[in-house]
Structure 1
Amino acid sequence: MLAEPRSDQEKTQLLNRLKRVEGQVRGIQKMIDEDRYCVDVLIQVSAINSALKNVGMQLLERHTHHCVSDAIKSGSGEESIEELMKVIKQFSKS
């Protein structure tokens, strides 16, 4: 099943969020290198986890509204729903 192309705005939003996360990871590396207080590092790790979870939720929502919805309309919804449920289970473990 092919993904529906994202709008330029949507793609830009996702990429900007991921670039921010990338910057946060580099920040944590620097914090560890500088022997910063563990709690401060942990707070930043938590912020990264939250940011990645938000990106994942946005992708999951889009996938459901577009790919799964289109599959249901075209009569191949059962397979798409099973795939979605597997992804939701995997995503909720993190």
Structure 2
Amino acid sequence: MADHQHGYLHRKDDYLARLRRIEGQARGLQRMVEEEQYCIDILTQVSAMTKALQSVSLGLLDEHMHHCVADAARQGEDEGRAKIDEAVAAITRLVKS
């Protein structure tokens, strides 16, 4: 598996663009707090940023399941189970956050 490529690589530029937008949202939130903007407006922007991060997470998870987990399953039961366990742990972290 040394030559394994991550499933998201074909959309790497899309992910980077989305993360840069999220980074801009974070800077905007900092500016809103510095400018002492209305708390509900800040919370609205936090919600938008959270949704954007969740969208990136779900996209990466989808790529992982369709590429990495599927490849591991083709290699054998042990490899497939290990990747499934890894994915379940990641989903658990996402749900708890």
TM-score, with structure 1 as normaliser: 0.92
State the partner residue of 2:61. 60
Q: Cα distance, 1:35 vs. partner?
A: 0.6
State the alpha-carbon separation in 2 of the partners of residues 55 and 70 from structure 1: 22
Q: Per-residue displacement from partner, 1:26-78 (whole Å, max 9, x unpaired)?
A: 00111111110000000000000000000000000000000000000110211
Number of residue equivalences: 92
**RMSD over equivalenced CA pairs, Å:** 1.3
Q: Which has the higher contact order (CA 8 A, sep 6+)?
A: 2
State the alpha-carbon separation in 2 of the partners of residues 90 and 31 from structure 1: 29
Alignment gaps of 5+ in structure 1: none
Alignment gaps of 5+ in structure 2: none
TM-score, with structure 2 as normaliser: 0.89
Moved >4 Å (runs of 4+):
none
Kept in 2: contact 1:28–1:45 (CA 8 A): yes
